[in-house]
Amino acid sequence: MTCLPLAAPAESIDRVEPPFWWTGMAEEELQLMVHGRDIAGLEPSVTYPGVTLLGTETTGNDNYLFINLRLAPDTEPGRLEIALRDSGEARATIEYPLKARAPGSADRRGFDATDAIYLVTPDRFANGDTANDSTADTLEEADRDNPGGRHGGDIAGMRKHLDYIADMGFTQVWPNPLVENDQPAYSYHGYSATDFYRVDPRFGSNEDFREFVDAARKRGIGVIQDMVLNHIGNGHWWLRDLPAASWLNGDGTDKGEYTLTNHSRTTLVDPHASDSDRAAFVQGWFVDSMPDLNQRNPLLANYLVQNSIWWIEYAGLSGIRADTYAYSDGDFLQQWAARIHREYPDFNIVGEEWTRNPALVAHWQRGEGAQVSGGRLKSMMDFPLHYALREGLAEEDSWDSGLTTLYESLANDFLYPQPQQLVIFGGNHDTSRLFSQLNDDPALFRMAIAYLATMRGIPQFFYGDEVLMESPKERNDGIVRSDFPGGWAGDDSDAFTGKGLGGHQQQAQETVRKLFRWRRQAPVIHSGRLKHFSPRENTYVYFRYNDKDAVMVAINKGNEPYRLPQARFAEALGDSTGGVDVLTGERHALEQLEIPARDVLVLELD
């Protein structure tokens, strides 16, 4: 987009967002947010085949003008001139690019249970370009010695190691947010946006991100973008000139009166909840440095919808992870999800609802083939199973603990419209490291990885877990998101090549690699049915099966080998007499089969 001032006007235009758009979109209407000094009273005019000016809207701030356009289906790509006039006199002209959509853009496939997701904190994964560690136009400089500071990881680093991610068996990569976070401190994580349309220059440029997505696609990897709809950073450029007080919950300023959220997520479904509690959950701020967005404002809601679609189309995304999903306004979430689904019918979004309560997660999931309603999504993060996995493996086994916890958590699948579309995980950027939570026990870690690779759902894996990265059990973000070994020149060890890794680290990495590379070619895991048997003698056995294949998974937490009682599992074993161990390639006969002590067996049955 370029803006050409005419006749030295008093007005000046510094932003038009979205910065460009595409012809041939399913939704014909487009709303441009124009920012500049004293422009609210200007009258736009357009003369472009297929483009109709529908009108304008203002907010009470003279520095904003919203221009509503309609792009007919036969509109051709080109440069749309929008003249801004004052009493008929042209004051400025916006040259607005209209681009052609990429062929097949609307038909893109989103991620699903055939995929496995690798989650990366970009600042902590790999530093591919040291020149952008600190930049002249951002506040916080790199300080690798500070656990909460910026360390220099970037898009170039992620791109450099795409072959590693593919070799490990992953088919999707989810980076924590990459948009600009120009905050004075603690800006590396990406969840305090200061510009929705700009990649943070310490990660690279918008074009770098687009090229990263393209490079990933050529390796069979899709890219899921992490988006935050609920809040912004208090360094966002809006806060210097807020479009309207009603864009934020509270009194409309980052220093004014507001309440912190009560985190009472049950209020959205509780038939007995008070209106005040429900409002406090949705309208309260996360923290005082993250102003809470009021998506009940129709201009802001449309801005956020268009921004998400812009990134999908511009970068070529295969999915969105929606942060703090339930904290946003419910009507807005329905509008947002439905609009994305209209443009990309097979696209997928996974929402974060951080709760142990499976009923709450189920509330946000929609059924197969159902239309988007109430903001419901096809996929949600399976936090209940996350907790069950970590606690079920770490705890001592009894009638109501240990493996029983894991077994009974899975029984809650009757609540979910599509349990196979839930994203399952052992850890992420907000939790302690999986290995540490499992008491630094390589055997328990091996069980957890086998579970994640064979369970129903879409597995998500946190970078570095494959080499047993550690953290305190209590939350400590800076340590959880430590630098990946080998991502920086001079590192003592290199997990990309295996140099300097300890024996347990090498074994863990190879376990992850073998299981997820195998999973990539295992339809029985992607879409097969699941049958599990209640734990006995510290052992939990379940089966994934379809009309053609079957896989048996046996987890033995006990200190003695477990002799498989064929009669008990006969309904799942059928006519099978043996199978091949996925991890070792060794063939086992079911007769007299023993599961080694403190081990897991993944067996492809005959």
**Predicted confidence band at 278 (pLDDT cuts at 50, 70, 90)?**
very high
Please, which contacts does 414-418 make with residues 24 or more away whose CB atoms are closer than 8 Å? 415/358, 415/359, 415/361, 415/362, 416/358, 416/361, 416/362, 416/365, 417/362, 417/365, 417/366, 417/367, 417/368, 417/370, 418/365, 418/366, 418/367, 418/368, 418/378
Which pLDDT belongs to residue 8?
A: 35
Which pLDDT belongs to residue 254?
A: 63
Residue from 123, 140, 182, 323 carrying the catalytic annotation: 323
DSSP 8-class letter at 263: -
Counting beta carbons within 10 angstroms of the beta carbon of residue 12, is it exposed (0 to 12), middle (13 to 18) or buried (19 or more)?
middle
> What's the chain's Rg over C-alpha atoms?
26
Q: What is the mean pLDDT of the chain?
A: 96
CB distance 102 to 15 below 8 Å: no
Counting residues of the chain whose pLDDT is more than 90, the rounded percentage is: 95
**Residue 591, both tokens:** 């007769």
Structural domains in the chain plus CATH codes = 2-104 (2.60.40.10), 113-227+426-521 (3.20.20.80), 528-605 (2.60.40.1180)
Buried b (16+ CB within 10 A) or exposed e, 483-498: bbbbbbeebeebbbee
Which pLDDT belongs to residue 403?
A: 98
CB distance 506 to 499 below 8 Å: no
**Residue 232 amino acid letter:** I
Segments of 190-347 assigned E as strands: 195-199, 222-228, 319-323
Could you report the per-residue pLDDT of 209-219, keeping only the tens digit for each? 999 999 999 99
Question: What mean pLDDT do residues 59-66 have?
Answer: 97
Distance CA 423, CA 220 (A): 20
Pairing of strands 599-605, 578-581: antiparallel
Distance CA 285, CA 279 (A): 11
For residue 375, give the nearest of 340, 408, 332 by alpha carbon.
332
Question: What mean pLDDT do residues 371-391 have?
Answer: 94
Which pLDDT belongs to residue 372?
A: 78
pLDDT > 70? residue 5: no
Catalytic (active site) residue 323:
yes
Catalytic (active site) residue 396:
no
Which pLDDT belongs to residue 256?
A: 75
Counting beta carbons within 10 angstroms of the beta carbon of residue 300, is it exposed (0 to 12), middle (13 to 18) or buried (19 or more)?
buried
pLDDT > 90? residue 4: no
CB distance 51 to 71 below 8 Å: yes
Distance CA 246, CA 248 (A): 5
Distance CA 549, CA 605 (A): 7
Q: To which residue do tokens 């609210």 refer?
A: 40
Count of residues making up the chain = 606
Which pLDDT belongs to residue 369?
A: 76
User: Computed from CA positions of residues 338, 340, 342, 346, in that sequence, does the dihedral angle turn out positive or negative?
Assistant: negative
Distance CA 327, CA 285 (A): 9
For residue 115, give the nearest of 425, 515, 458, 524 by alpha carbon.
458
Residue from 208, 352, 353, 413 carrying the catalytic annotation: 352
